[in-house]
A and B are shown apart, each in its own frame.
Chain A
Amino acid sequence: MFRKFAPLPIVALLALWLVTPSYGQLVCLPAPHLLTMMPMGAQAGTTVEVTITGEHIEDVTQLLFSNPKITANPATDAAGKVVENKFFVTVAADAPTGVHDARVISRLGVSSPRAFTVGAMPEVTITEPNASVETAKAIAVNSVSNAVMPKRSIGFYSFEAEKGKRYAVECAAVGIDSKLTPVVIIADAKGRDLMVNRTGGVIDFSPAESGSYLVKVNDLTYQGSARHFYRLALQEMEGNGPPPRHPSTAKVSSTSWPPVGLPAKPGAAEAEPNDEADRAQKITLPCDISGSFYPAADVDTFEFSAKKGEVWWVEVASERLGLPTDPFVLVQGITQKEGKETLTDVAELYDIESPVKISSNGYSYDGPPYNVGSPDVLGKVEIKEDGVYRLQVRDLFGGTRNEPANEYRLLVRKAQPDFALAAWAVHMTLRNGDRAAFSKPMALRAGGAMTLEVLTVRRDGFEGEIELEMKGLPPGVTATGLRIPAKKSVGHIVLTADENAKPGFSLATITGSATINEATVTRPCRLASMEWPVKDAKQEIPSPRLVGNIPVSVSDSEKAPITFSAAEDKVWEVTEGETLTLPLKATWRGDFTGTSIKVKAYGDGFGRLKDFEIPLKSATHDAVIDLAALKTPPGEYTIAFYGGAVAKYSYHPDAVPVAEAAKKKAEEAATVAAAEAKKLTDAAAKAPEDKKAEAAAEAKAATEKQKLAEKAKADAEKELKVVTTAAAPKDRVDIYVSKPVRISVKPKPADTVATAEKK
């Protein structure tokens, strides 16, 4: 007997094949990316010349920083002409030290961020090769060197150290957006290694003898490029304290830390020895204790009394403080019988799980690559009996690691329901490992829309819905929050730019509001982004981080390929259990491939809406929403439609005629220069003896000028080729979002309900 339908997995696979982009397609419309800065930091109170590189950043007008104490002006040459991609960056003397974000405003709007560090020590930029002992760059103690790492290379630095002094040597890279995995080595003057750190830590160096020493820096696997930049900090240390650390960007996991209102310093500290049960540290709840997973295989044991029916929430922060740890908490009840102690497990608390499945970085996209969860601990302990309990804190990574800097903070409290939020730009279902789209600034095209995915980490049993709001947008841009439903973790914010919006930029804020214990609580939402547009996630793991602020821009250099929305901007009313026919309208600007776009929906409960197709080029289309199937309860809703589509896209075609004109001009200049050179060369040949030298000099100058003109011509030809190639239409797949649609679901009339119940 034949089966009537294909087996489900095959149907699913076919569906996947139909909606996902194929090989060779480019993913997402180009977005501006600021990629490198040199130097990538400066001492407070100084001005430095910074050179930037990026992609899709033509016509850069501004270099901006997440802190207003850092400002930049375009660099100019001797003639007062602006030098492309060079800025003078001024850091005010009272600018806060730490990592800030830099961005540029360009033709397509605001770029993705790049870390810029403000420090207290003098800084230098390494420009000469220093890949051998002989060419080691001499550096001063208490200085920062900004440099890039070439492939298969080692950077050598020399410094003078004094016996009896203590020096901290650190190579900042991972925490400042670099692709370098730094290795730092202290060697003697001949280059023989003395001390090594390969795990991103600080070398704490006290020389046995005064003299010259070398610092060697390389990548763990000797990778290198302009994107493998680093800041080598050499610092003399006072006293016996821990070495100072270079500041770092924040991990996405730190979204949930610290809880609102937490004092900066903990109330108490663990007191060793407390490893063994009989030496457990007595505490009373609630508590706020700092401790350290030190020495190796450290167990910190605390003992407290609790009453039946109490519920305690336990939170441990360590990984979220930026440390390579995996805390674990075990709570056990103690019973004594005939002088013998019996322990009963009450709670095992492991990680803060991500509220959604995160990406496995495999071939196909299978979830967001951002993890708001953490190896840290956040969980509850329910007390079933009056008694004495023991709480152990240990680091599941700490068995053999002797690192006193691996600290933690332990909070045990009665429930304080709350939430934390993080958002990132939504991307589409991608395959073939392309993760370039994740590094996505909020740079809107006129007539376009973008979506932010907002996740919440719920704390201490809070389950209510969270309304989302985004404010502070540039003119012509609106944002609508699609709330996070009760007991769920994901909501959205849709940003839309007016079709006629003019270029604009602003710093926005995102907040979430919820009712907790009958009061409205509002919490800020942080934005996450990828450090790099990663082309192949199999070869390079995308690195997400939290960014300093939320800039939004709109540009009109090119318009969005499609704008679609409800036919009317109004609240669409519908009765519970009925079907809403929603007329949509669309403006098609792009040359789309295929016959239709498959559309789904965002919005509380509307994610289950069965996808439908909008035929290409159709100006209107009715979306049919069966509320009975969705089981949508009465209430106010905001939803948005979205779908993936492939369109031919030309990158910056306006650049082609400009380049053609430049080429023509260069050709003409070259022709003139050639003629002039020939004329003067011929004249020099014929010049009388007494004028020969002068004529020859003139001819030589003209020939030099001709060479320059030829080079300018070649450059212009090359540029034309580049922009022409970029402008050639290519298939690009992207995710397109409608303007949000408001729907009001009214309750069924009472008699209908009664009739239904009777039936």
Chain B
Amino acid sequence: MSGTADPIPMSPSHRFPEFFLVALVALSALLFSNVVFAEDEERPVHFVHDVVPILTKAHCNSGSCHAKADVGQRGFRLSLLGFEPQEDYEHIVKEAKGRRVFPNAPEQSLLVLKAANLVPHGGGSKLDPESENYKTLVRWISQGMPYGKESDPTLASIEIDPKRMVMETNTKQQLRVTAHYSDGTKRDVTELALYEANNKSMAEASESGLVETSDLPGNVAVMVRYSGQVSVFSVSIPLGAPVENLPPENNFIDKLVFANLKEIGVPPSPVCDDATFLRRVTLDIAGRLPTPEETSAFLDSKAPDKRDVVIDSLLDSPDYADYFANKWTALLKNKRESKADITANFAFHSWVRDSLLENKPYDEIVKQILAATGTIVENPPVAWYKRVTLPKQQLEDVAQLFLGVRMQCAQCHHHPFERWSQHDYYSLAAFFSQVGRKPTAIAGEDLIFHKRGVAKFENKKTGEPVKPAGLGGPTLEIAPDDDPRLQLANWMSEESNPFFAKVLMNRYWKHFFKRGLVEPEDDIRDTNPATNPELLDALANHFVESGFDLKEAVRVLTRSQTYQLSSKPNEHNAVDRQNFSHFYPKRMQAEVLLDSIDHLAGSSTDFADLPPGTRAIALPDNSYNASSAFLKVFGRPEGASVCECERVQASSLAQSLHLMNSNEVKAKLAKSAGRADLLSKSEKGDVDGIHEIYLTAFSRLPDGEELSIAEEYLTKPRTDAAGRPVDPKVAKRKAYEDLIWAIMNTKEFLYNH
């Protein structure tokens, strides 16, 4: 080989004389002021602007194919989504002894042979040999694989046409995507762009940018990506029904929700009745069913503000603190990994619970976790650092949990859907670079302190140290004596912080309304807009103005008429899944359901190391899942993830079988001095007994038909397997057990509605 000319250009700019491109650009600018790249055989193919988008469009450089981290696929490695074109160029042109590209016989190049599956390709056919994209690749090879030059224009932005529109249900719209370059030129890249709707049940986008709506009304966004640029096509899909008789607005939530409903023509359901409201709000705030006494008192009350009063009373109760501590501690990974974790886990859970009980402001809670120092027993939030040990984990968890930003991708490459770069990632990591640890007497438990020194973290890509900066914020100069984590907490709680308040309100909105204004609730980004952005902004503002008052956050949500709408759809709004035209019923969470069954059956569940009578919503960590089949079957999370998705709310056959037929549930029904036992012995009579069961389970009295069916069942004489009459006392108890069992298995019981 030595002495022969190298057919491969030494550097991307060597192959074509510079003047050629300059002349071309000048000519193009003169003749085609709107188009920089003439779509003809003459134009030199540009590696970054032409070749990489084709590879991206064909998914060659997706994470599961040739951009698999560090290894690629079968020896051929590309950067994820083409974020590192220089490296890709090297891999394609210089590796594999030049077999991937053959300028003398371009169509014999492995690059195109494999892509078109003309030689066996593990990924199958990705390019049709008749397609324009295939031809472009061949042309690029035949031109000697030019890279382009440093002076070439760069992609500045992409533009979608239309950007926003109202589309009727079941209609289509073709999008046009135009790339704008740094020299002012532009180009149609519709065929090369990638399209993805954020709610596929409402709209689908084809490979070529054709958007098709389904029959669901609401707001949907289609994310469009091209060469590292991202934009969004926003669609409003109206139902067009008349919206009249709106309930009176209680607060700004109603104003903004009803405005949206009017715009899309979806009439809301009426406000729910008192019984439904009390059950709903008690389950949502306190994680339990109302007692029959509470229900009777509430139903009997004539006070006009009784709904507001009950909300405040629930917020003042320790049940609220228990229930929300249960939610937060799973997200904060209060996970039992060894027997010795018990002290740390109990301490941390209790600290969260006590903080909620005293209504410590949310920014203060977060600050005390992020900047925790000392030992766990003396300062329980230190426990977070026991679970989340490395700065990278710390920044990723903090970003996702408290900022609603998923930074994981940005560790290795520019975030594909976001504006976050590796620099942003390591800037965030730098806040955690001065966390000092010292071992304590307890094995595996360090005490945490601020280690004096200038906070910085090495950017893995560049090898350069990066100083701390909040996302989108300026680089901070933090003195070596100041704990950078405090600065991070301060940045988060700044009024202008675009993430902190928003993600909390979205998370809480989802808690009460089943669906977040942004979904998933912790993935807030420009390319995943809220279904009602004005509402999310207003909620965030309200939260900031309240001084990050968590009880006020719950109060404002639950006081709204929107929250109090009936779950029964009207003739128009049944199709609505995201505009909150009616209340979306939710299956009770595992812990709430277990407690509710105990409440209904008059039983209790025994949990190791905890006093008898401790309820499932007050469990400090995940260790109880292992001993409770119920909690496991109904999806209680293990505290392994900061994502609420770890909690499984989906229904399963196992759940139905467990409720209908498990020994655990049977034992609860048959418990001595349980509800069935006591009612069967009560002298008050069956009508009272049935009333008590309905009030307990549904927070309402039975209607006439329900009452007569139940009465008839309770008084029916019973015989045993041999046909002999059963002792009436035993028969009555069994009948009550059956009645409670039947009620326990209704959707009305299992759901918060």
Q: Which residue of chain B lies nearest to A131 when distances are taken between CB atoms in the complex?
A: B611
In the complex, besides A181-B343, A397-B374, A399-B485, 13 extra interface pairs with C-beta distance below 8 angstroms are A181-B377, A183-B350, A198-B354, A199-B377, A220-B346, A221-B343, A324-B375, A330-B452, A330-B481, A360-B439, A360-B443, A397-B447, A400-B367
Which of A153, A196, A399, A539 has the most chain B CB atoms inside 10 A of its CB? A399
Q: Which residue of chain B lies nearest to A153 when distances are taken between CB atoms in the complex?
A: B611
Q: Does B235 contact A (CB under 8 A)?
A: no
**14 pairs of residues in contact across A and B, judged by CB atoms under 8 Å:** A196-B354, A198-B347, A199-B379, A199-B380, A221-B342, A221-B609, A222-B346, A222-B609, A222-B611, A223-B609, A361-B442, A361-B443, A399-B372, A401-B379
Is the interface on chain B under 10, 10 to 19, 20 to 34, or 35 or more residues? 35 or more
Q: Does B143 contact A (CB under 8 A)?
A: no
Produce 1/0 per residue, B364-379, CB < 8 A to A.
0001100111110111
Q: Which residue of chain B lies nearest to A397 when distances are taken between CB atoms in the complex?
A: B374
Write the nearest CB–CB distance from A568 to chain B, whole angstroms.
Answer: 46
CA distance A103 to B297 in the complex (A): 60
Q: Does B491 contact A (CB under 8 A)?
A: no
Tell me whether B357 and A152 are in contact (CB under 8 A): no
- When distances are taken between beta carbons in the complex, the residues of chain A under 8 Å from B380 are 198-199
Q: Which residue of chain A lies nearest to B482 when distances are taken between CB atoms in the complex?
A: A297
- Checking A192, A198, A399 against B483 with a beta-carbon cut-off of 8 angstroms, the contacting residue is A399
CA distance A485 to B665 in the complex (A): 72
Write the nearest CB–CB distance from A534 to chain B, whole angstroms.
Answer: 11
- When distances are taken between beta carbons in the complex, the residues of chain B under 8 Å from A538 are 340, 443
Q: Which residue of chain B lies nearest to A538 when distances are taken between CB atoms in the complex?
A: B443
- When distances are taken between beta carbons in the complex, the residues of chain A under 8 Å from B351 are 198
Produce 1/0 per residue, B340-359, CB < 8 A to A.
10110011001100100110
Q: Which residue of chain B lies nearest to A362 when distances are taken between CB atoms in the complex?
A: B443
Q: Does A555 contact B (CB under 8 A)?
A: no
Tell me whether A348 and B452 are in contact (CB under 8 A): yes
Tell me whether A399 and B373 are in contact (CB under 8 A): yes
Tell me whether B347 and A154 are in contact (CB under 8 A): no
Tell me whether B379 and A397 are in contact (CB under 8 A): yes
Q: Does A298 contact B (CB under 8 A)?
A: no
Tell me whether B379 and A392 are in contact (CB under 8 A): no
Tell me whether B441 and A398 are in contact (CB under 8 A): no
Tell me whether A396 and B443 are in contact (CB under 8 A): no
Interface residues of B (CB under 8 A from A): 317-318, 321, 340, 342-343, 346-347, 350-351, 354, 357-358, 367-368, 371-375, 377-381, 436, 439, 441-443, 447, 449-450, 452, 481, 483, 485-486, 609-612
Tell me whether A154 and B611 are in contact (CB under 8 A): yes
Q: Which residue of chain B lies nearest to A187 when distances are taken between CB atoms in the complex?
A: B318
- When distances are taken between beta carbons in the complex, the residues of chain A under 8 Å from B485 are 399
Number of contacting residues on A, CB 8 A? 38
- When distances are taken between beta carbons in the complex, the residues of chain A under 8 Å from B443 are 360-362, 538
Tell me whether A399 and B318 are in contact (CB under 8 A): no
CA distance A326 to B436 in the complex (A): 13
Within 352-407 of A, Cβ neighbours of B (below 8 Å) are at 360-362, 392, 394, 396-401
Which of A131, A361, A392, A396 has the most chain B CB atoms inside 10 A of its CB? A396
CA distance A223 to B441 in the complex (A): 19
Known: A193-B318, A196-B354, A324-B374. A220 touches B449 (CB 8 A): no
Q: Does A115 contact B (CB under 8 A)?
A: no
Q: Which residue of chain B lies nearest to A323 when distances are taken between CB atoms in the complex?
A: B378
Write the nearest CB–CB distance from A395 to chain B, whole angstroms.
Answer: 8
Q: Does A299 contact B (CB under 8 A)?
A: yes
Write the nearest CB–CB distance from A28 to chain B, whole angstroms.
Answer: 21
Tell me whether B378 and A220 are in contact (CB under 8 A): no
- When distances are taken between beta carbons in the complex, the residues of chain B under 8 Å from A220 are 343, 346-347, 350, 377
Write the nearest CB–CB distance from B677 to chain A, whole angstroms.
Answer: 21
Q: Does A95 contact B (CB under 8 A)?
A: no
- When distances are taken between beta carbons in the complex, the residues of chain B under 8 Å from A154 are 611
Produce 1/0 per residue, A143-167, CB < 8 A to B.
0000000001110000000000000
CA distance A429 to B321 in the complex (A): 48
Tell me whether B318 and A297 are in contact (CB under 8 A): no
Q: Does A218 contact B (CB under 8 A)?
A: yes
- When distances are taken between beta carbons in the complex, the residues of chain B under 8 Å from A743 are none
CA distance A198 to B321 in the complex (A): 16
Write the nearest CB–CB distance from A175 to chain B, whole angstroms.
Answer: 14
Tell me whether A199 and B481 are in contact (CB under 8 A): no
Which of A181, A220, A398, A400 has the most chain B CB atoms inside 10 A of its CB? A400
Q: Does A541 contact B (CB under 8 A)?
A: yes
Write the nearest CB–CB distance from A344 to chain B, whole angstroms.
Answer: 13
Tell me whether B357 and A196 are in contact (CB under 8 A): yes
- When distances are taken between beta carbons in the complex, the residues of chain B under 8 Å from A399 are 371-373, 450, 483, 485-486
Tell me whether A152 and B371 are in contact (CB under 8 A): no
Write the nearest CB–CB distance from A296 to chain B, whole angstroms.
Answer: 9
- When distances are taken between beta carbons in the complex, the residues of chain B under 8 Å from A152 are 609-612
- Checking A192, A223, A398 against B373 with a beta-carbon cut-off of 8 angstroms, the contacting residue is A398
CA distance A188 to B367 in the complex (A): 30
Q: Which residue of chain B lies nearest to A192 when distances are taken between CB atoms in the complex?
A: B318
- Checking B343, B354, B481 against A394 with a beta-carbon cut-off of 8 angstroms, the contacting residue is B481
Tell me whether A541 and B441 are in contact (CB under 8 A): yes
Tell me whether B449 and A396 are in contact (CB under 8 A): yes
CA distance A299 to B482 in the complex (A): 10
- Checking A131, A222, A328, A361 against B441 with a beta-carbon cut-off of 8 angstroms, the contacting residue is A361
Tell me whether B612 and A396 are in contact (CB under 8 A): no
Tell me whether A392 and B442 are in contact (CB under 8 A): no
- When distances are taken between beta carbons in the complex, the residues of chain B under 8 Å from A394 are 481
Tell me whether A397 and B373 are in contact (CB under 8 A): yes
Write the nearest CB–CB distance from A364 to chain B, whole angstroms.
Answer: 13
CA distance A358 to B343 in the complex (A): 23
Leading 8 A-B pairs by shortest Cβ distance: A397-B374, A396-B449, A324-B378, A193-B318, A397-B373, A196-B354, A541-B441, A399-B371
Write the nearest CB–CB distance from A645 to chain B, whole angstroms.
Answer: 30
- When distances are taken between beta carbons in the complex, the residues of chain B under 8 Å from A401 are 373-374, 379
Q: Which residue of chain B lies nearest to A398 when distances are taken between CB atoms in the complex?
A: B373
Tell me whether B611 and A326 are in contact (CB under 8 A): no
Q: Which residue of chain A lies nearest to B452 when distances are taken between CB atoms in the complex?
A: A348
Known: A399-B485, A538-B340. A199 touches B452 (CB 8 A): no
CA distance A398 to B481 in the complex (A): 13
Write the nearest CB–CB distance from A584 to chain B, whole angstroms.
Answer: 39
Q: Which residue of chain B lies nearest to A332 when distances are taken between CB atoms in the complex?
A: B481
Tell me whether B483 and A326 are in contact (CB under 8 A): no
Q: Which residue of chain A lies nearest to B489 when distances are taken between CB atoms in the complex?
A: A400
Q: Which residue of chain A lies nearest to B317 when distances are taken between CB atoms in the complex?
A: A192
Tell me whether B439 and A541 are in contact (CB under 8 A): no
- Checking B340, B357, B375, B449 against A193 with a beta-carbon cut-off of 8 angstroms, the contacting residue is B357
CA distance A324 to B609 in the complex (A): 28
- When distances are taken between beta carbons in the complex, the residues of chain B under 8 Å from A222 are 346, 609-611
- Checking B346, B378, B449 against A199 with a beta-carbon cut-off of 8 angstroms, the contacting residue is B378
Q: Which residue of chain B lies nearest to A537 when distances are taken between CB atoms in the complex?
A: B441
Tell me whether A299 and B481 are in contact (CB under 8 A): yes
Tell me whether B481 and A392 are in contact (CB under 8 A): yes
Q: Which residue of chain A lies nearest to B318 when distances are taken between CB atoms in the complex?
A: A193
- When distances are taken between beta carbons in the complex, the residues of chain A under 8 Å from B354 are 196, 198
CA distance A625 to B130 in the complex (A): 96
CA distance A183 to B357 in the complex (A): 15
- Checking A361, A392, A396, A541 against B450 with a beta-carbon cut-off of 8 angstroms, the contacting residue is A396
CA distance A538 to B340 in the complex (A): 8
- When distances are taken between beta carbons in the complex, the residues of chain A under 8 Å from B450 are 396, 399
Q: Which residue of chain A lies nearest to B357 when distances are taken between CB atoms in the complex?
A: A193
- When distances are taken between beta carbons in the complex, the residues of chain B under 8 Å from A400 are 367-368, 371-373, 379, 381, 486
Q: Which residue of chain B lies nearest to A218 when distances are taken between CB atoms in the complex?
A: B611
Q: Which residue of chain A lies nearest to B439 when distances are taken between CB atoms in the complex?
A: A360
- When distances are taken between beta carbons in the complex, the residues of chain B under 8 Å from A541 are 441-442
- When distances are taken between beta carbons in the complex, the residues of chain B under 8 Å from A183 are 350
Q: Which residue of chain B lies nearest to A174 when distances are taken between CB atoms in the complex?
A: B377
Write the nearest CB–CB distance from A325 to chain B, whole angstroms.
Answer: 9
CA distance A398 to B486 in the complex (A): 11
Known: A152-B611, A400-B368. A196 touches B373 (CB 8 A): no
CA distance A362 to B441 in the complex (A): 9
CA distance A360 to B450 in the complex (A): 23
